[in-house]
Amino acid sequence: MFLWFVVCAPVLVAEIFQSPKVDYRLVSFGAVFPMVGFLFLPSATHSFFFPVVVLTVVMLATIGKRLLRRRLLGFPIGLFCHLVLDASWESASVFWWPLFGSEQAQQIPESSHVVVRILLEVVAVLLLVWAAKRYRLTTQSAQKKFLRSGHLPANYLS
């Protein structure tokens, strides 16, 4: 479900916050990061507390550094998006880890339901096409600028 997280998280954030200055690359990275965490500590990276801790660290580490904070906030926002897009709350032992014990959950949400995963990847491709048009990323120059800065064009909502 790689594309599901990479595409849907920044689209959700763009539609909710409507800010062209968010670093959407970090939102995407934050949204897929818990999948990497599956290799090491799946319950921790899929718990509610992981993005809260990361958000706290970002906020404390960037006191007095407003521009750096604005850039880095994309990562914990992406982590929160992962929890939403993955329906992590369906498993209380995963979502509230370690409150229900420190044992690792047997299965994290994105590792089940193969048919659903394939359908979500198809939805993500369709959403990518829609988002490219919506956010005016259909030209090569706009795409290059987005890849360099992570920002959407300033006039993408008009």
Query: pTM for this one?
Result: 0.86
DSSP 40-70: T-HHHHTSTHHHHHHHHHHHHHTTT-HHHHH
Q: Where are the domains of the chain?
A: 2-149
Contact 94, 109 (CB under 8 A): yes
- Determine contact, residues 39/30, Cβ cutoff 8 Å: no
Q: Check: CB of residue 37 under 8 Å from CB of residue 58.
A: no
- Comparing CA positions, the residue from 10, 11, 18, 9 lying closest to residue 157 is 18
Cα–Cα distance, 154 to 158 (Å, whole number): 9
* pLDDT recorded at residue 106: 52
CA nearest to 9, candidates 156, 136, 157, 150: 150
pLDDT score of 105: 52
State the burial class of residue 25 (Cβ atoms within 10 Å of its Cβ: 0-12, 13-18, 19+).
buried
Report CA 157 to chain centroid distance, whole Å.
21
Distance CA 41, CA 158 (A): 43
- Tokens representing 61 are 């580490």
Q: Residue-wise pLDDT tens for the chain (158 aa)?
A: 899 999 999 999 999 998 888 999 999 999 999 888 767 766 678 889 999 999 999 999 999 999 999 999 999 999 999 999 988 877 777 788 778 765 555 555 555 678 888 999 999 999 999 999 999 999 999 899 999 999 988 777 65
Dihedrals phi, psi of 42, to nearest 5 degrees: -60, -40
pLDDT for the residue 13: 95
